């Protein structure tokens, strides 16, 4: 019997809206234009993928905001937790003309409009800015949003913990699906099918299952490659739950691994555990990257660890900060990020072990609990 999917209603974020308007007052900006669908959802509680259509959110420093959506999404937006106006447009209409008219009628001609420079395409910016020739677009909202999302509230951490527990369920399903001859694609299909039966509607990114030498490609493409004896099988997966993401990686062995495979695994595990143990308020992001990298370098495999240590996580799978050399951000309680060292030896072996964690007052806690000691699937 199929389990009924659980409705996961996202709530308008009053606290963050106030934080944003306070920033606007302090920094002298008249209007904020938000374009990234994830950021729109973060503030409004309305989640949507507009594809090639226009989704936009506007905040004024002293007047009510409004949400602009394609007509086919307008009713859903009105039925969401968003408490302000929703303006829809038909595909046959010029969205920029309608947006400009709404802004002029509601707010006059803003002297300053702050935009998400990392999300607004040049094409869309030029179409929008043509209606505001005397307006400044110098300010960038992207780093402001990054800072707002950097320290998670207890309520946000609870959702991330729930999402992490579903990743643990996914690992259990995936490990059980390993057998000789099973393909990467078949294992992925089993994971995602069983999760849907349990009420998880969506993964947070495309699930990776990479067997044998393919695990040595950090972002390899799963396919019809079968699992064989003595293969390492790398799982990189996560779910989207209550609008928050999980992301975790485990590498397991099918049948008894070679001594060399065990050696590489143990090095990566040592790096991951040493770094996770070092997490606490006051340490720099760059210092964590160095801890993991030095463990791997000391064994002579530094060049085979060819990516940053980790990334932030929240309503999107990759948020600020990056845990990388040169980022001297000082960690604080409530920050959430991945710790995912790896060693990748082309045509030989690949291992990555990843947990996402949240910083506590004296350390950190992982969102996923699946055992990180080498598991041998018989």
Provide block-wise average pLDDT over 10 residues at a time, the chain (378 residues).
39 88 96 96 92 97 96 95 96 98 97 96 98 97 95 95 98 98 98 97 96 94 95 97 95 97 98 98 98 98 97 96 97 98 97 98 98 97
Q: Are residues 200 and 216 in the same domain?
A: yes
Residue 189 within any structural domain of the chain: yes
pLDDT digits (tens, 9 = 90+) for 55-100: 999 999 999 999 999 999 999 999 999 999 999 999 999 999 999 9
Q: Are residues 169 and 284 in the same domain?
A: yes
Domain membership of residue 115 as a residue range: 14-149
Ramachandran category for residue 96: left, alpha or beta (phi over 0 → left; psi -120 to 50 → alpha): alpha
Which among 149, 167, 200 is the end of a domain?
A: 149
Residue 5 within any structural domain of the chain: no
Q: Are residues 335 and 187 in the same domain?
A: yes
The structure tokens 């072990």 sit at 353
Q: Are residues 65 and 88 in the same domain?
A: yes
Give the three-state DSSP class for 91. coil
Strand ranges in 296-339 using DSSP code E only, listed in sequence order:
310-312, 319-323, 336-339
**pLDDT for the residue numbered 142:** 96
| Both tokens assigned to 186 | 């078949």
* Residues 261, 253 contacting (CB under 8 angstroms): yes
Residue 4 within any structural domain of the chain: no
Distance, CA of 176 to CA of 169 (rounded, Å): 11
Q: Are residues 291 and 364 in the same domain?
A: yes
pLDDT digits (tens, 9 = 90+) for 305-344: 999 999 999 999 999 999 999 999 999 999 999 999 999 9
**pLDDT for the residue numbered 7:** 37
Q: Are residues 129 and 166 in the same domain?
A: no
Distance, CA of 142 to CA of 147 (rounded, Å): 9
The CATH number of whichever domain residue 317 belongs to comes to 3.90.230.10
The CATH number of whichever domain residue 74 belongs to comes to 3.40.350.10
Which among 132, 149, 166 is the end of a domain?
A: 149
| Both tokens assigned to 212 | 């044998």
Q: Are residues 207 and 91 in the same domain?
A: no
Q: Are residues 143 and 188 in the same domain?
A: no
Domain count, the chain: 2
Backbone angles phi, psi at 170, to 5 degrees: -60, -40
Q: Are residues 91 and 188 in the same domain?
A: no
Q: Are residues 93 and 54 in the same domain?
A: yes
Q: Are residues 109 and 171 in the same domain?
A: no
Give the three-state DSSP class for 121. coil
Residue 8 within any structural domain of the chain: no
Q: Give, for 94, the enclosing helix (H) or strand (E).
A: none
DSSP string, 222-269: --SPBP-TT-EEEEEE-BEETTEE--EEEEEEESPPPHHHHHHHHHHH
Q: Are residues 227 and 335 in the same domain?
A: yes
**pLDDT for the residue numbered 10:** 65
Residue 233 within any structural domain of the chain: yes
Residue 28 within any structural domain of the chain: yes
Which of 206, 279, 288, 257 has the alpha carbon at shortest distance from 373?
Answer: 257
Residue 6 within any structural domain of the chain: no
Distance, CA of 99 to CA of 228 (rounded, Å): 57
**pLDDT for the residue numbered 86:** 98
Which among 127, 149, 171 is the end of a domain?
A: 149
Residue 128 within any structural domain of the chain: yes
């Amino acid at each position: 019997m199929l389990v009924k999917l659980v409705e996961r209603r996202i709530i308008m974020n009053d606290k963050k809206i106030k934080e944003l308007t306070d920033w606007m007052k302090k920094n002298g900006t008249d209007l904020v234009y938000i374009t990234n669908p994830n950021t729109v959802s973060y503030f409004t509680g309305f989640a949507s993928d507009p594809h090639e259509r226009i989704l936009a959110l506007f905040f004024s420093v002293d007047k009510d905001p409004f949400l602009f959506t394609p007509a086919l999404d307008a009713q859903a937006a009105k039925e969401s937790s968003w408490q302000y106006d929703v303006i829809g447009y038909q595909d046959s209409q010029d969205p920029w003309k309608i947006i400009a008219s709404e802004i002029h009628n509601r707010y006059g001609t803003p002297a300053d409009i702050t935009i998400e420079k990392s999300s607004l395409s040049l094409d869309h910016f030029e179409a929008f800015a043509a209606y505001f020739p005397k307006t400044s677009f110098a300010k960038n909202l992207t780093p402001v949003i990054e800072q707002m999302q950097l320290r998670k509230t207890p309520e946000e951490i609870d959702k991330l913990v729930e999402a992490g527990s579903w990743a643990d369920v996914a690992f259990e399903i995936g490990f059980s699906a390993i057998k000789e001859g099973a393909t990467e694609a078949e294992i992925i299909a089993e994971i995602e099918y069983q999760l849907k039966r349990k009420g998880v509607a969506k993964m947070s990114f495309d699930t990776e299952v990479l067997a044998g030498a393919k695990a040595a490609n950090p972002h390899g493409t799963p396919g019809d490659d079968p699992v064989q004896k003595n293969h390492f099988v790398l799982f990189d997966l996560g779910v989207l739950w209550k609008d928050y993401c999980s992301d975790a990686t485990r590498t397991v062995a099918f049948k008894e691994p070679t001594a060399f495979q065990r050696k590489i695994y143990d090095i990566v595990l040592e790096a991951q555990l040493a770094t996770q143990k070092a997490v606490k308020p006051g340490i720099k992001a760059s210092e964590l990257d160095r801890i993991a990298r030095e463990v791997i370098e000391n064994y002579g495999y530094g060049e085979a660890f060819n990516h940053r240590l980790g990334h932030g996580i929240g309503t999107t799978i990759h948020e600020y900060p990056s845990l990388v050399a040169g980022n001297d951000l000082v960690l604080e309680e409530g920050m959430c990020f991945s710790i995912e060292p790896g060693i990748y030896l082309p045509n030989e072996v690949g291992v990555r072990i990843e947990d996402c964690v949240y910083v506590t007052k004296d350390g950190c806690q992982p969102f996923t609990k699946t055992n990180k000691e080498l598991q041998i699937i018989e």
